Structure 1
Amino acid sequence: MTDAQSSKRPLIWFLFWLVALSAPVCSLSVAIGSEPPMISRMLMWCPGTAALLTCLICHLDFRSLGWSWPRARHLGWSYALPWLYAVPVYLLAWAMIPGAFQWDHFSAPLAATFKITTHPTAFAAFFGIPTTMVFIVLGTMAWTLGEELGWRGFLVPRLYARWGYVGTSFAVGLLWAVWHYPVLLGADYNAGTPAAYAISCFTVMVVGLSFVMTWLRMASGSVWPCVILHAVHNTLIQGVLDASTATDGRAPYVTTEFGFGLAVTLGVCAVVLASNR
């Protein structure tokens, strides 16, 4: 076996297992027309399981997946970046689109859960958001670890040596986006906007985010900043910002992971990082 064949073998095995594991989970989601939390979690662990099986089959060192704990500055960036690229999008949408800001959609259920009858808005702001962005993030990391072991733990370092920063970020980002397409088109992982629009915005957003993730992975030498950023991204956007935003009218065209707002901000991040790599 040549060196080229030897280096391609783990990539081939990873893609094989990625498809073999993801296809039945996606098919189940499409069959029922939705993506319940358990199916979502099963799907998120398909890339990680594919990476672990590939390491086992190809006798690769499991430490190459980036288990080491990074420096504090990389952890800080991983937590801060989603706030920097997401919050401005929603603030502008809330300010410019009448009726887009629906704070009671987030605050009312939270206050009811804790039986808060007075000042539910203040309770949601000063208790709900901080606890969500700490404890829900910690819980979500169990699932984002599954994705990140595959995309950034396994795939990014192996493509980086071949294609460099830009090529790796684009390739992994495109694969990451396409991997979501079945549940985006066939289930309810979307914002209800036209499919072509949702796919276009989502793909640009994910590829842009891939540039951020590749930078974090290679700069830190660890998969954990990517795990944390992914968990903060999902929790902040889906659990707080989307929960406080109207789901009809013009708002979904700007907000959510399927609107143009995040596609723009993460596209800018990609350009900046690619220009200063």
Structure 2
Amino acid sequence: MDRNLRSILYFTAISCGLAWLVAWPLWQGDGLFDTRFGVVALAMMFTPAVAALAMVFIVERPAAKFRSLGLWPLKPAGRLLMYLALALIVPVALILVALPVGDALGVYPADFTGFSAFKAILATAGQGELPLPIETLVAMQFVNVLIGAFINLLPALGEELGWRGWLLPKLMPYGPVRAIVVSGIIWGAWHAPLILLGHNYPLAPGWLGVFMMIGMCILVGAAFGWLRLRSTSVWPAALAHGTFNAAAGFSMVFAAAGAPINTVNATILGWSGWIVPLLLAIVLVATRQFREAPASGKLAGQFPTHPPAAG
């Protein structure tokens, strides 16, 4: 087994093992209804970062440690800013476009004009008569997503430092498609401690939920990986992840009240929501967008596309 593959296996074992360790109190308690769920889920997001830091500072100890994680350098500034801007747009676009696609296929109960589910949520929250027209409140959700993207940046970096900061470049020697697929599989499987409890896929058996999460992570991970590789920085991927989490609630904003949403079939989590991300991934592969960006200092040759020699 070559050293690169051995490091990848170590990283996977550490990140997934820590995830199960952190989530174990939920399995011993009330699962998703446990009062500690929020704290546990937040702590779990930092386990990939712990694994990546362990690989960089203890196992491999490269000379340019922060560069190997994609944290540095923050240049060229123009390119980085462009991909940071895309990180605020692409995840929202993928989440939103999944809804009319699901509606057209008959698996997402949409209400794009009345916003009846959103009205019901506001009523349940005790707001009674709406203080503003519902259209204004819907528009304000886009502002909330922008704010939430930056609030979520730190915990999202806890994941992305592992998945796209360290792991994706390590997999690039085996080819970009394999790198995207394998990193997505690992990322999706890492969610198992929560998915098996019913998180994200409450209407599906646990094994199916994990399978669906892996599929979603491969395709959404392709977009995040593109941002990481083309910017040569982990920051756009982390901001995209934070934006993605902040925008997840749009599936309820545009839904019809009283109609259950089966996330196996609908939203970005379900198969209908994978169609556009799959098409995007195909375009990115066909146009060679997963190759290394133009060299910047020592970044040249960072992501070779041939298998490393065994060692």
Q: What range is the shorter-chain TM-score in? A: 0.7 to 0.9
- Contact 2:46–2:158 under 8 Å retained in 1: yes
Partners of 2:283 and 2:31 lie apart in 1 by 38
Gaps of 5+ in 2: 289-311
CA distance change for structure 1 residues 221 and 40 in 2, over 3 Å: closer, same or farther?
A: same
> Is 1:20 the counterpart of 2:17 in the alignment?
yes
Residue among 223, 235, 240 paired with 1:212: 223
Partners of 1:257 and 1:38 lie apart in 2 by 25
Q: TM-score, normalised by structure 2?
A: 0.75
CA distance change for structure 1 residues 188 and 253 in 2, over 3 Å: closer, same or farther?
A: closer
Q: Cα deviations across residues 3-34 of structure 1 (Å, max 9, x unaligned)?
A: x43x4454344234213311212322333321
Please give the residue correspondences for 1:181-260 in structure 2 after superposition, counting only pairs within 5 Å.
181-195=192-206, 197-236=208-247, 238-245=248-255, 248-249=259-260, 252-260=263-271
More helix by share: 1
Q: CA deviation at 1:210?
A: 2.1
Residue among 171, 176, 191 paired with 1:159: 171
Q: TM-score, normalised by structure 1?
A: 0.84
Range with bigger deviation, 88-97 or 19-28 = 88-97
Gaps of 5+ in 1: none
CA distance change for structure 1 residues 17 and 104 in 2, over 3 Å: closer, same or farther?
A: same
Partners of 1:108 and 1:30 lie apart in 2 by 32
- Contact 1:159–1:168 under 8 Å retained in 2: yes
Residue among 94, 97, 107 paired with 1:85: 94
- Contact 2:99–2:108 under 8 Å retained in 1: no
Equivalent residue letter for 2:23? C
> Is 1:46 the counterpart of 2:51 in the alignment?
no
- Contact 2:91–2:243 under 8 Å retained in 1: yes
**Which residue of structure 2 aligns with residue 30 of structure 1?**
27
> Is 1:148 the counterpart of 2:152 in the alignment?
no
Partners of 1:234 and 1:17 lie apart in 2 by 24
CA distance change for structure 1 residues 251 and 103 in 2, over 3 Å: closer, same or farther?
A: farther
Equivalent residue letter for 2:70? G
Range with bigger deviation, 12-21 or 259-268 = 12-21
Partners of 1:98 and 1:159 lie apart in 2 by 36
Equivalent residue letter for 2:196? L
Residue among 144, 168, 171 paired with 1:132: 144
Residue among 134, 149, 161 paired with 1:121: 134
Equivalent residue letter for 2:52? A
Q: CA deviation at 1:256?
A: 3.2
What SS does the aligned partner of 2:45 have?
helix
Partners of 1:85 and 1:262 lie apart in 2 by 8
**Which residue of structure 1 aligns with residue 294 of structure 2?**
none
- Contact 1:106–1:243 under 8 Å retained in 2: yes
The size of the alignment, in residue pairs, is 271
Partners of 1:11 and 1:250 lie apart in 2 by 37
